[in-house]
Structure 1
Amino acid sequence: MVFFALFFAFFFLTCSGLLVCALFRSQPHVSQARPRVSILVPARNEAHHIERCLQSLARLSYPPELLEILIGDDASTDDTAAVVQAFIADKPPFRLVRIGHPVGSARGKSNAIAQLCRQATADYFLLTDADMQLPPDWVQHMLGAAEAPAHGRPVGVVTGSTVAHGNLFGRLQGLDWLFGLSVIRVLSDGGLPVTAVGNNMLVTRAAYDSIGGYETLAFQITEDLQLFACIVQAGWGYRNLWHGHVLGISAPQPTVRCLLEQRKRWMRGTTRLPWYLSGLFGLYGVFYMVLFFPPWVAWPLTPLLYGAKVLLQTLYLWISLRQVGRHESLGVLLLYEFYLAGMSLLVLGYTLWPGHIRWKERRYAWAEV
């Protein structure tokens, strides 16, 4: 019993520490400089989502003459290219780029980004996905975070925040985005580099060139995690922002099957995450095993411990939502606990089940990514 008492003490101290750290965040900083920027949007089979993304980019408050918006059609088999061409016909900052054969060792999305970077002419690359919607002053705030050094080093990569929207299933996915990215933000603020998210990211040309670009890197399916790790290893600083001015809204996965495919790809990336993040998520998962297997814990304590965990989790989500200017009902915040437990089991089982990783109608073997 001493071991389990120590486990729960450590668990709740860790969760309380994360909650306290989440209360503190850096204030938004708007860049006063107005450099030219390249916004890069790799797209494959995104005909249903991409116009929403392009509309948000067209509403950016940054001077249009300083924007270069490159949309990379990565061999789409649907009407993605036609939708893009119709939208950008009278919009000079936008340009459609046809993604060609792989360059170097790049494949899939990393190849699309590599080719867009070769076409880009600015010194700042802002990356997003075709299913994202960005706020009007996104560019100024991302640039502002790159101006001053971070952790004693010039900033090479900046990550914004992301949630999802839609029906109840989509809102629960949004809380999942929020929970994970908020933990990453807390660790990053404490000087522990974790990762960046490729749907809402700034990379300086100098940092990107210093690692040779995607064409020189061994292929990985989680290309954003790889890019972040290589840039930090090359000596560049990083920032993870957490406020509404850099909040991207992602389209949720429409079905459980699609969500499992996405998470299986993400699970491949978790094998390369730093030990402190893997340890935190592992601790969270072990909590259920320790709590719900008597006689490890005396039954009268089980509801109390479980209730304390849900309370801390709900407070953490509520604070994180408020900081990015979002709101959610108490019922949905409480429902997230059951979504999290159920999806965690499904994702673990789906990942362990033999089979390829399917991503944008392409198949990858686990060993090659």
Structure 2
Amino acid sequence: MEIIFFILIVVYAVFILQLFFGFNKIKDQSISKEYTPKTNFTIVVPFRNEAKNLSKLLASLSNLNYPKNFIEIIMIDDDSKDNSSAVFIKWRMKNDEIDTTLLENLRLSNSPKKDAISRAMPIAKNPWIITTDADCEVNPNWLSSIDGFIQKNSFEMIAAPVIYKTKNNWFHHFQQFEMLSLQATTIGSFGINQPFMCNGANFAYTKKMFLELDGFEDNNKIASGDDVFLLQKAIAKCSDKVGFLKAQNAIVITKPENNLFKLLMHRIRWASKTSNYNSFYPKFLASSVFFANAFIAFGLIALFFGKLDWKLFLILFLIKYSIDYLLILKANSFFNTNKIAIPFASAILYPFFATTVGVFSLFGKFTWKGRRF
């Protein structure tokens, strides 16, 4: 048994170290002094019951340092039960210099968000589509950063960074550690030419590529994955057309969850699509992460009952902890979040959390936005 645990942690360490070095291969981008805006964007925002959050997103869109006549915004109301649409309509009346459209979603599949994006696509006027979420805020230079990256490269799909805006409490910091590790994994995977993950809160692609990939065809039975499955289809067909924009000005800020049940449902929703990945690498990586965390969780229980050598467990725990912390520090050097302390509590609790999420994503169901999937 000890040999199996050792092999699990060593394999896990190899994966994480690969991502750590891959992170460095993606160069930071900045807007040049000679920059001139050229690209027209359609921003697509599906929403459901987001009246409390929409105002911040819309205010940040109002403050974009980008020509308003280069911007189109399509909002898709996914059967909201609150006054989300009224919030948007009120904002639109004060910002009539921006081309805006409000649509009602049409449910055609098991994925409301994919339906919403597909609903917007036929009427989108601009060549580039950017998706974000209703609980996000964007940087004033968000579109300028993406446009500058487009002008420098021949990409037709661009993944970009997302981070939490946290309050000063442990539960939010716990989620921030996790988000930093996910973003480091995303960036690192691009650095080693094995990209498989992105975040739909900050995801851009040409309308042309979306249509060439047949959109969400073949994966619309899966509730989530409007971002990763489209990315993986693009990688399989034309990997040279896909890139990651590592730029401070391109960071989109979103909100962490405020209670454990919602956090679990959110993560189970994310993890539920893993078994449907097409390529070997992400499945092997996901399995390695799951079993490494499961070992720590069950190892702590075994220690309590005296069924495991504490010296061996401590060595393996410290190996995992050290490389996890290195990856988080690497991500934090880019995102500049709150000062990172040594998260011993998170390191002990997270394996139980991750194992629970992994098990339920395979065998359980989840509730999201008042719906059960």
1:210 aligned partner, one-letter code:
E
Deviation string for 1:303-340 (max 9, x for gaps)? 23322322222222122111123233314x44331342
> Aligned ranges for residues 85-164 of structure 1 at < 5 Å?
85-92=89-96, 93=98, 95-102=100-107, 107-149=111-153, 154-164=154-164
2-side partners of 1:40 and 1:310: how far apart? 39
CA drift of 1:352 comes to 5.4
2:367 aligned residue = 358
Q: Give the unaligned 5+ runs of structure 2.
A: none
Residue from 235, 243, 247 that aligns with 1:232: 235
Residue from 279, 287, 307 that aligns with 2:284: 279
1:196 aligned residue = 198
Contact 2:166 2:173 (8 Å CA) reproduced? yes
2-side partners of 1:255 and 1:139: how far apart? 33
2-side partners of 1:305 and 1:216: how far apart? 41
2-side partners of 1:8 and 1:348: how far apart? 17
- With over 3 angstroms needed to count, the CA separation of the structure-2 counterparts of 1:94 and 1:83, relative to structure 1, is farther
2:182 aligned residue = 180
1:47 aligned partner, one-letter code:
A
1:229 aligned partner, one-letter code:
Q
Contact 1:243 1:325 (8 Å CA) reproduced? no
Q: Give the unaligned 5+ runs of structure 1.
A: 365-369
1-side partners of 2:289 and 2:214: how far apart? 37
Contact 2:41 2:127 (8 Å CA) reproduced? yes
| Greater RCO structure (CA 8 Å; 6+ sep) | 2
SS in 2 for 1:239: strand
CA drift of 1:96 comes to 4.0
1:76 aligned residue = 80
TM-score, scaled relative to structure 2: 0.85
Contact 1:159 1:197 (8 Å CA) reproduced? yes
- Across the aligned residues of Structure 1 and Structure 2, the Cα RMSD in angstroms comes to 2.8
Residue from 187, 208, 211 that aligns with 2:210: 208
SS in 2 for 1:155: coil
TM-score, scaled relative to structure 1: 0.86
2-side partners of 1:289 and 1:187: how far apart? 23
CA drift of 1:129 comes to 0.4
1:43 aligned residue = 47
Deviation string for 1:37-65 (max 9, x for gaps)? 11111111111111111111111111112
How many residues in Structure 1 have an aligned counterpart in Structure 2? 357
Deviation string for 1:338-363 (max 9, x for gaps)? 342232133245445644x3222233
2-side partners of 1:21 and 1:296: how far apart? 38
1:266 aligned residue = 270
SS in 2 for 1:23: helix
- With over 3 angstroms needed to count, the CA separation of the structure-2 counterparts of 1:106 and 1:344, relative to structure 1, is closer
2:341 aligned partner, one-letter code:
L
Contact 2:8 2:288 (8 Å CA) reproduced? no
1:299 aligned residue = 310
1:335 partnered with 2:345:
yes
2:163 aligned partner, one-letter code:
V
Deviation string for 1:18-51 (max 9, x for gaps)? 3333334312144644222111111111111111
Percent identity between matched residues is 19
SS in 2 for 1:163: strand
Contact 1:56 1:133 (8 Å CA) reproduced? yes
